[in-house]
Amino acid sequence: MSNSVQGKRPVVTVGGMFGQPDYPAGYFAATRLLIESGDVRALAMPIVYLQRHTAELIIKTILDGGYSVIESTQRLQRAKAEPVLSFAIKSTKGHKLSNLLDDAELALKALGYNPPVIAGMRDLVNLIESMEGGDETRWRYDTLKNGKRSFPYPWPPSHNDMVSLPIHKIQELLARIVEEEQVGRWEEVMTEHGPEITSFALSLSLDHQQISQELYSLGQL
């Protein structure tokens, strides 16, 4: 990703072999910048939406990585005529955080990760979903999927009608997860620590590389 200037307007180029965007890192950086702007009340909806989306991206990165390792493991076992790991791959297209996290932990458990838990993610997911009320679009639209307002305003107004958004608590939990998963700085971690890392996503990536090399040696790639 690079920036150039045409007149007074910056132009951002994204893509190609060396310009792939880091989605989780980018969305997390956006949450931090918006909070640091000092206008948290006016920016509450974009902040909470970006926090939620960052969490979803991290979970899906781990889930996709787990599924890739499981699929390549099953392929290798078939090539070696060994017992095949029994695991059914699910779709990763949903948006309900608790379901995605359940699937990610099942995949990690099947691969022998102990504990198969993303530190702090369950607390974060529970907190976010407790505010969503079953509709993940609450932070994007003023009307829910069922046609009701995201935040009703009954008359006469009451303080009890207000909804508290623990934005700073969410950010604290999210920051710990981003640090634990080494979001945005995988290359540095790989260079410094090699395979002895705490990041699920990076560990799964290394597992996949190792299995792919073995498949290649067997003529299966």
The mean per-residue pLDDT over the stretch 107-127 comes to 92
Q: Are 174 and 124 in contact (CB under 8 A)?
A: yes
In a domain, 11, yes or no: no
Token pair of 91 as six digits: 């779709």
DSSP state string for 69-80: HHHHHHHHHHHT
Residue 2, in any domain of the structure? no
pLDDT at site 42:
93
How confident is the model over 79-93, as pLDDT tens digits? 999 999 999 999 999
d(CA 48, CA 97): 14
pLDDT single digits (tens) 4-36: 555 567 788 888 888 888 899 999 999 999 999
Q: Given this model, what pLDDT does residue 156 score?
A: 78
Whether pLDDT at 1 is above 70? no
Asked if the structure places residue 150 within a domain, the reply is no
Residue 13's contacts (CB-CB under 8 Å, 6 or more residues apart) are 1, 2, 3, 4, 19
Query: Which residues constitute the domain of residue 59?
Result: 25-141+160-217
In a domain, 4, yes or no: no
Peptide bond into 24 cis (omega under 30): no
Q: How many domains does the chain have?
A: 1
> Is 147 contained in some domain?
no
Decide if 152 is inside a domain. no
Q: Cis link prior to 166 (omega < 30° from 0)?
A: no
For residue 130, being part of any structural domain is answered with yes
131 within some domain: yes
